[in-house]
Structure 1
C-alpha cells in the first residue's frame, strides 16, 4: 500500500484538524476539507495565538509543519504533486478520510480542496498562447543604432573584458535559430562572460552592478541566451483564458504571450527578463530592447529603441505603468463595472465575465454570434438560463457554478467545442460533490478522471 494511503501518514494532521473543528465534525454530515501539495498547502488547522509583545515564530506552527511534511514525503514517494481530501470523524473517533488525486487532466485547486481547471483536450492551450507575431512590413533597425560608437564605448568601459569570437556567436545563432542583430554581436564581441573580467574579481554583486550602470541590465553569458516563446510562459486556464493578445496600431511591442523573435539577453536585476526584439510592433524597430515583466503574462515593455540608445542612458526606467483597458476585448458585467450584457456586446469581445448583479439574472442573447467570444465565466445566479450557452458556438473555456453545470449536464447541453472548463466552487461547497461533477464533465471527453481513495482509521474519543 502506498504511504499516501496509510492512515498513520495522515494521523498527526487529522488530530490537529479534529481539535480545531470538533464542533463542526460532530454535526450531522459535518466534514473538514483541505489540500496538500509539494509547494503549498491549504489546511484549516487554525493558528496558535501568539504571545503578547512578539511576532509569530516558526515554533508556534511546528506541529502543523511536521504533520504536513509527513504527507508531503508520502506524496513524493507516490510520484504525486497534489492531493485534496475530506475528513469525517464520528463521536467515538471512527474516521473516514477521502483522498482525491487530480490526475493528469485536472489542475490542482487554488487554495481549497476543489479541483482546478479541467483540461478537456490534450495539450490544448488558450488562444493568446497560440497567437504568433504579425509581420510588420517595412520594420527596420532604429536610426539611433551606431555600431562604431557602441563598440568603442563598451571597450572603454570594460577594458579587461574578454569577448566572444565569430565562431562562438555563430554557434549561439544556430542554437537559437535566428540571426542576432549587429548590435548584439558587437556586445558579445566585447563582453562574453563577465566572470572572466580580472578587474571585477569573483564578486557577483559587483559584476551585476557594473552591468546595470554600463549597459542598463544584467547580461547573460552568450551560451545562456534563449527564446522567450509562449511555450516557456506557464499558465493556468482559469487565468490565461481571460487574457487577450492585442497589438494596437501605435504599439512598439506586439501584445503576445511570447515570440520566436524575443531573444532573452539579460535580466533587470529584479526578475524581469531583458530581450532583443526581432518581431516588433507597428511602431517599433527591429533589434529594440524590451522587458518581459514577470508580473504580466502578455506583452512586454519597450526599454530602448536600440542597444546603442540604452547604453547612452543605462539608468532609464523601463516601467511605463501602462496597462490594457479591458473593453472591448474583455468585459466584466457586474454592479460596479459594465452594467449589462448589451453594453458588453462588441465584435471584438473575447472574454465575458458575469458577476454580482443588482437586478435580474442576465440573458446571453446579446452576445450570440460574436465571432471572437471564446471565454465565459459566470458567478452563481448571474445567468437567467444556462441553456443559452448553446448559442455561444466559439467557446473554448467555460467556468460555471455547480448548479449551472448541473443544468447543462442534465440537458446534454455541455458545449463540445471546449478545450478546458472550470467549476466555480467556494469553501462552503462540498468537494465530494464538486469532484463527482468534474468527473461527469471529464467523462464526456473520455479524459482521465479524478480518483478517490477512502482511508479508514480510528482517532479515539476526543
Structure 2
C-alpha cells in the first residue's frame, strides 16, 4: 500500500490539527480538513489575525508534522491531495484522502472539502478567453507617429548598435503571423537587441550590456527581435473558477478593447513586470499602433500607455496621459447578496447580462425567474442555500459555467435537469458539508460527461491521547 494511504504517515499532522481543536473533542467528533502538496499546504492550524504572519513556532510545528505526508506524495509522484478527518474524543479517526483527476482544476488553498472546478469539456476555455477583437475600420495611426524621426533618434542614442536586416524582420513577421508596424521596424533596424541569449561565444557580459544600453535609449526593457510575441488570450491563462466570472466590455469611447488578449497585441518590451505591446486592434477611440500596458496582476484588459511608439521613445517612456482599465459590472455582470450591488435577481435583469454571482444572503431565498430566457447569461454562481428553486436554472439555456452547493446540484441530478451545455462546473461548499457527499456529487457530474472520476481512499486509525493535548 502506498505510504500516502498509510495512517502512520498522517498521524503527526492529524495529531497537530486535533490538538488545536481539542476543545471541540470533549463531547463531539471534530472534523479537520485541508490540502497538501509536496511543496506546501493549506491548513487551519495556527492561523494568525488578518494581515499578520504565522508564528515561527507554529510554522515549525506544521513543517515537522507535514513532512511525512509530503515525502509520501513525492514518492508516489502525486501533485497534491485534499483530505478530511473525523476525529472522535477518544482519538479514533476516520481519514478521507481525495486524489486528483485530469478533469478537475485544483482547489489549491482550500481548507474545505471542495474538489475544485470540474472541466466537463476538455480543451474549452471560458467565453472571455475565446473573444476576438472587434474590427475598427476607421482606425489610423496617431499624428505623433513618425518612424523616420524614431529611427534618427535611436541612431543618435545608439551609434554602435547592430540593427536587424530586412530579412530578419521579415522572418519575425512570418513567425508571428503579423506585419510589424513601421515604428517597430524602425526600432529594430537600429537595434535587434541581440538574440534571446548570448551569442555563440557565450559572452553573457556583452549581451547584458547591449540589453541595458538599449533600455536606456528606448526607455523600457526591450525584447530582442527573436523575443517578440503575440499577447493573445493564451498568454494569460486563468482557472475556470475566475475566468467564467470575467466579462469583455469595450465602451464606445474606449481607446483599448477590453480583451483578455488579441492577435494584434505585439509584445515588445517590459517595465520589469508588466508588458508593453503595440496594438493593431485598437478600441473605437484608439490609434493603430498605439502602445498599451498589459498588467501582470490583471487577467483581462490593458491600458493605453501612449498613442505612438515615437512619442514614448522621445520621452523615454514617461507617459503623462495613461487611461487605465475601467471596472465594469452592471449590466454585464451582477453581484447579488449581503453587502453587494443588488439584493434581488430582478434588479440584474438586462439583455446584456452575462454573469450572475449570488453571494451569502440573509433574506428569503432568491428566484431566478426574472433572468430566465436572457440570451447572454453564461455564468451563474450561487452560494449554498440562496436559491428558492434550483430547477429554475433550466430557464438559463446558455449556461457554460455553473457553481452550486451540493444540495442544489443533487436536486438537478435527481431530476435529470443538469444543463448539458455546461463546459465547467463547481460544487461550492460552506465548510460544514461532509466531504463524501461533496465527492459523490462531483463524481456524478463528471460521469454525466464521461470524464475521469476523483479517486477516494478511507483510512482509519487512532491519533492517541498525546495528540490531543496542548503540549
Q: TM-score normalized by structure 2?
A: 0.87
Correspondence for 2:254:
251
* Residue ranges of structure 2 left out of the alignment (5+ in a row): 467-471
Correspondence for 2:469:
none
Cα deviation for residue 203 of structure 1 reads 9.7
Correspondence for 2:174:
174
Alpha-carbon distance between aligned partners in 2 of 1:38 and 1:175, rounded to the nearest angstrom = 39
- Match among 258, 262, 267 for residue 264 of structure 1: 267
Cα deviation for residue 300 of structure 1 reads 0.8
Cα deviation for residue 290 of structure 1 reads 0.8
Cα deviation for residue 223 of structure 1 reads 1.4
Correspondence for 2:457:
453
Correspondence for 1:144:
144
- Indicate if the aligned counterparts of 2:384 and 2:430 stay in contact, CA closer than 8 A: no
Cα deviation for residue 372 of structure 1 reads 0.4
Alpha-carbon distance between aligned partners in 1 of 2:384 and 2:429, rounded to the nearest angstrom = 9
Aligned residue pairs total 454
Alpha-carbon distance between aligned partners in 2 of 1:155 and 1:70, rounded to the nearest angstrom = 61
Alpha-carbon distance between aligned partners in 2 of 1:341 and 1:459, rounded to the nearest angstrom = 48
Correspondence for 2:391:
387
Q: Confirm or deny that 1:355 pairs with 2:353.
A: no
- Indicate if the aligned counterparts of 1:213 and 1:315 stay in contact, CA closer than 8 A: no
Q: Confirm or deny that 1:323 pairs with 2:321.
A: no
The C-alpha deviation readout for 1:40-87, integer Å capped at 9, x for no partner, is 4212332699xxxx9877565223224434433432333332210112
Distance 1:402 1:286, change over 3 A: same
Alpha-carbon distance between aligned partners in 1 of 2:152 and 2:39, rounded to the nearest angstrom = 48
The C-alpha deviation readout for 1:198-248, integer Å capped at 9, x for no partner, is xxx949998777666543321112212211111222211121111111222
Distance 1:12 1:161, change over 3 A: farther
- Match among 283, 308, 311 for residue 309 of structure 1: 311
Correspondence for 1:63:
61
Q: CA RMSD in A?
A: 2.9
Cα deviation for residue 354 of structure 1 reads 2.1
Which stretch of the first structure deviates more once superposed, 64-73 or 140-149? Answer: 64-73
Matches within 5 A, 1:101-112: 101-109=99-107, 110-112=109-111
Alpha-carbon distance between aligned partners in 1 of 2:76 and 2:432, rounded to the nearest angstrom = 30
SS at match of 1:121: coil
Distance 1:445 1:27, change over 3 A: farther
Alpha-carbon distance between aligned partners in 2 of 1:381 and 1:114, rounded to the nearest angstrom = 16
Cα deviation for residue 284 of structure 1 reads 1.8
The C-alpha deviation readout for 1:337-382, integer Å capped at 9, x for no partner, is 2233222111100011223445432221111111101111112332
Matches within 5 A, 1:269-418: 269=272, 271-313=273-315, 314-316=317-319, 320-335=323-338, 336-357=340-361, 359-418=363-422
- Indicate if the aligned counterparts of 2:258 and 2:302 stay in contact, CA closer than 8 A: yes
The C-alpha deviation readout for 1:141-169, integer Å capped at 9, x for no partner, is 22211112111111222223222222222
- Indicate if the aligned counterparts of 2:13 and 2:65 stay in contact, CA closer than 8 A: yes
- Match among 78, 81, 84 for residue 82 of structure 2: 84
- Indicate if the aligned counterparts of 2:191 and 2:214 stay in contact, CA closer than 8 A: no
- Indicate if the aligned counterparts of 1:47 and 1:61 stay in contact, CA closer than 8 A: no
Cα deviation for residue 119 of structure 1 reads 0.9
- Indicate if the aligned counterparts of 2:85 and 2:93 stay in contact, CA closer than 8 A: yes
The C-alpha deviation readout for 1:413-460, integer Å capped at 9, x for no partner, is 111111111122123333232112211221221211110022344444
Cα deviation for residue 251 of structure 1 reads 1.7
* Residue ranges of structure 1 left out of the alignment (5+ in a row): none
